[in-house]
């Protein structure tokens, strides 16, 4: 069996680590259901829906990053096995 070159493995590992850190930051950026004390009183709610657009885009970016991380995990599993 031919093993991949160390350069390719290093690049995939670097991309995987970057995706892991990015995914943690994106998940922490979500506001959650209650949105803290300000969510209880409706403070910080945008009348024009800008907050909803940002949350929707943040969710899309999180899903894309999670799918890419799963792909790199599977790829590393095949490469290093």
Look at residue 35 and tell me if it is in a domain: no
Look at residue 34 and tell me if it is in a domain: no
Look at residue 41 and tell me if it is in a domain: no
Digit-coded pLDDT (tens) for 7-43: 999 999 999 999 999 999 999 998 776 554 445 555 5
The reported pTM is 0.76
Look at residue 60 and tell me if it is in a domain: yes
Look at residue 6 and tell me if it is in a domain: no
Look at residue 77 and tell me if it is in a domain: yes
Look at residue 63 and tell me if it is in a domain: yes
The pLDDT score that the predictor gives to residue 1 is 58
Q: Domain count of the chain?
A: 1
Note down the domain range covering 55. Answer: 48-81
Cα torsion 29, 27, 61, 21: sign: positive
Look at residue 76 and tell me if it is in a domain: yes
Between 62 and 50, the more confident residue is: 62
């Amino acid at each position: 069996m031919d093993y991949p070159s160390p350069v390719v493995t290093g690049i995939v590992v670097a991309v995987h680590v970057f995706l892991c850190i990015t995914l943690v930051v994106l998940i922490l950026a979500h506001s959650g259901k209650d949105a803290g004390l300000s969510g209880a009183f409706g403070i910080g709610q945008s009348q024009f829906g800008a907050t909803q657009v940002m949350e929707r885009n943040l969710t899309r970016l999180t899903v894309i990053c999670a799918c890419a991380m799963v792909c790199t995990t599977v790829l590393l599993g095949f490469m290093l096995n």
